[in-house]
Structure 1
């Protein structure tokens, strides 16, 4: 026991001491930095136990789309709790049925069926299973720059270094390079060339892996934690065409990008592409109660018309979670958050970040949609050397840690990944708060500038 005994600060609060002594946090070491103790939240802000108010530019894990403690969300959860708290998934109930109807009504094309899960990783797991059962094939192609969740299949499908500790993973997964014009794997000169070469690479991957064995191509419509990589126009259409040509299921992972984050109900709507399966979570009810799911096309659903789908979860379609989803979708509509998010991205965030790029030599690239943006930090704009190395930790990551801490000293809670700052505030954020947060970023970029080549 002594080997993992983590001493707690005797002056810390009871919550802090109990956390330090008993909680193993996600992606964290027991003897790592103590987490912030949060006591309350409202809208785009939260407060810690010392009374400090933080502007949440992370939406927690890019899920608090309608902000913290939205009154309509709280009221819906209270009402459902008073009526029916929990139910086995083999029953039907009003909240779950209505959530499914609303979600299917928002999805593109003939995606009319919903399988509920407890979160995004489980959604990906079940989408993979559905694709394999539908096609009778087993291989799944996914991108190197991707994150699909931490369960067995989802982490194997993941392309970033979080996968490494779980290897060897589940069988049947193959990686490919997706488009990334700023750091092109294909030495492309522009977005059009990047699109064409990325699709040619994917076609070659399909060829050498054997069409007969490929069940699905799984991709994030807009890559999230690996850089907010917006696909070039034509890329998703090209993926859809490859899937159609070879009988491959197209799975759009919209766990982070969906439900308004990109200024569309689903990010894929921007390109008028209809996948076979969509995975969702996070923004469907802004994380107020755990919920995720898979939206199925009629063709995929037909595979389970007479044979039982061999998968399930005790809390699938949980009434409290689904009531929260119904309320959340209602808020998106009542407050016109989809159009508002698109406008905030086009008129405020994009122009502000592009102006920062002109002022700060550390800003190598700016990209995004809606309230889903990345600022990529570099040491040298000409060579595009990242501010910190790939998968940096410890001393190697010091510049980004210093940058993040500078944001926090100014009361901004940032979402920092690798050599990037992701600008992902709640969709309900007040416009002045949004501008104030961007001003803090502008000021804090002076920290990153100090590491740039002279």
Structure 2
């Protein structure tokens, strides 16, 4: 790392910024107002710019660098695979692809039989929806309003937030409200009430939409971008029971919450509920090479033994990506990275964030598990009115100026470091959060 920092040229940073602003079209943005941070390199839980300024990455970029930046085993595996075979069509058999699927299935358990590889999370959800429709002979897909499933045809329409509205070109989608006790849509006073009422609402939607027309319920096991909404006790079990009652395929979207993020290999394993299909991406190889996929139950996989599956991608199971999956999962196993995420959440991050909430009135609620947390920020703890965009901007500026990269969404700061984060790095981050909140609150 020191060699990389010593060889930085600020002129390269200037050039990178100029080229970006001249030629790169950014997602989810009005282009003219952008001033992107220029990153030169990274290692572990840190990244740095061309001036050598180092930042503690508590965003994990887009909550994907679970194994941290530049893990040497994963980088080496990509290099070695490049020397062997850089690319091959998905119709062939490839050793790296097979080894990657074997490892993913080993983590998912015996209920699952095959893996269909995609380029990322959005097309994983597209293909899971396709599998559900084909195997049920039904068309409709139910998903939650507080959700994000990707920016492609069916995935964006399955999404519940504002990004769906200008993109509603896909057919057969309906939405429902999932549980969120802090801002309950059901006037609940306890987690038990929230579960009971949310499940009642969901069954009413199922019946009203026509149960015999519904192919799938698509849920983020723990909704991420919507606010790290840990489901209350019994909710996921209740959804599973409704799916079984009405013959509906249950899809858990684990693109963000899978592969260590919640302190489990898959988030659903912490709730004791098994889906029919699992979608994944991000943490499976920390995004070192684009890849995603669908983990398919034995029964659904068997449905395509004689029936053609009408889907495919040129880069499905790309060898470089598959090799990075093998190395990432092996490293996560041998280095105890998933266990680290769980202990960090229970012993350091959770208690530390709770202490911050006691000190700072802007923090209305702390919620999460593992290395997957959110601070819900409010003007008033009683009314729970979200703070303004201006205050959010001030907090983000205060954090970045102190050397921490935050994940900011609406009125929330998502605290989502890599799964390899250490207690010392958590302590450093907590001190930065404390300073930033103190600075912003002093202006109120």
TM-score range, shorter chain: over 0.9
Are the structure 2 counterparts of residues 133 and 433 from structure 1 closer, same or farther at C-alpha, using a change threshold of 3 Å? same
**RMSD across aligned C-alpha pairs, in angstroms?**
1.3
Q: Does 1:424 align with 2:425?
A: no
Number of the residue aligned with 2:62:
61
Alignment check: 8 A CA contact 1:357 1:365 kept: yes
1:448 positional shift:
4.6
Number of the residue aligned with 1:247:
247
Alignment check: 8 A CA contact 1:128 1:140 kept: yes
Number of the residue aligned with 2:202:
202
1:50 positional shift:
1.9
Number of the residue aligned with 2:144:
143
Are the structure 2 counterparts of residues 78 and 138 from structure 1 closer, same or farther at C-alpha, using a change threshold of 3 Å? same
Worse-superposed segment, 13-22 or 324-333: 13-22
* Cα distance in 1 for residues equivalent to 2:34 and 2:98: 43
1:30 positional shift:
2.0
Number of the residue aligned with 1:342:
342
Number of the residue aligned with 1:411:
403
Alignment check: 8 A CA contact 2:12 2:50 kept: no
What SS does structure 1 have at the residue aligned with 2:378? strand
Number of the residue aligned with 1:293:
293
1:408 positional shift:
0.5
Number of the residue aligned with 1:364:
364
For structure 2, the 5+ residue unaligned runs are 1-10
* Cα distance in 1 for residues equivalent to 2:37 and 2:310: 41
Structure 1 segments of 4 or more deviating over 6 A?
A: none
* Cα distance in 1 for residues equivalent to 2:197 and 2:51: 53
Number of the residue aligned with 2:176:
176
TM-score (norm 2): 0.96
Number of the residue aligned with 1:276:
276
* Cα distance in 1 for residues equivalent to 2:144 and 2:60: 25
What are the superposed Cα offsets for residues 330-386 of structure 1, whole Å, 9 maximum, x if unpaired? 111011111111110000011011111111111100000100000000000011111
* Cα distance in 2 for residues equivalent to 1:448 and 1:316: 47
Number of the residue aligned with 1:387:
387
Q: Does 1:433 align with 2:402?
A: no
1:59 positional shift:
0.5
Q: Does 1:95 align with 2:87?
A: no
What are the superposed Cα offsets for residues 279-329 of structure 1, whole Å, 9 maximum, x if unpaired? 000000000000000000011111211011100000000000010000000
Number of the residue aligned with 1:324:
324
Alignment check: 8 A CA contact 1:379 1:451 kept: no
Number of the residue aligned with 2:162:
161
What are the superposed Cα offsets for residues 72-110 of structure 1, whole Å, 9 maximum, x if unpaired? 011111111111110000001100000001101111441
1:415 positional shift:
0.4
Number of the residue aligned with 1:125:
126
What SS does structure 2 have at the residue aligned with 1:385? coil
What SS does structure 1 have at the residue aligned with 2:33? coil
* Cα distance in 2 for residues equivalent to 1:385 and 1:14: 43
Q: Equivalences for 1:293-312 in 2 at 5 Å?
A: 293-312=293-312
* Cα distance in 1 for residues equivalent to 2:66 and 2:406: 15
1:451 positional shift:
7.2
1:165 positional shift:
2.0
1:170 positional shift:
0.8
1:444 positional shift:
1.1
What are the superposed Cα offsets for residues 193-222 of structure 1, whole Å, 9 maximum, x if unpaired? 100000000010001000110000000000
Q: Does 1:449 align with 2:436?
A: no
1:233 positional shift:
1.1
Q: Does 1:28 align with 2:29?
A: yes
Alignment check: 8 A CA contact 2:43 2:69 kept: yes
Alignment check: 8 A CA contact 1:179 1:195 kept: yes
* Cα distance in 2 for residues equivalent to 1:420 and 1:175: 23
TM-score (norm 1): 0.94
What SS does structure 2 have at the residue aligned with 1:147? coil
What SS does structure 2 have at the residue aligned with 1:250? strand
Alignment check: 8 A CA contact 2:13 2:38 kept: no
Alignment check: 8 A CA contact 2:13 2:40 kept: no
Number of the residue aligned with 2:376:
376
What are the superposed Cα offsets for residues 376-430 of structure 1, whole Å, 9 maximum, x if unpaired? 0000001111113xxxxxxxx1110010000001000000100000000111122
What SS does structure 1 have at the residue aligned with 2:40? strand
Alignment check: 8 A CA contact 1:377 1:448 kept: no
Alignment check: 8 A CA contact 1:373 1:422 kept: yes
What are the superposed Cα offsets for residues 34-93 of structure 1, whole Å, 9 maximum, x if unpaired? 211111111100111222111100001000011111110111111111111100000011
Q: Equivalences for 1:214-233 in 2 at 5 Å?
A: 214-233=214-233
1:136 positional shift:
0.3
* Cα distance in 2 for residues equivalent to 1:337 and 1:207: 43
Alignment check: 8 A CA contact 1:108 1:274 kept: no
Number of the residue aligned with 1:260:
260
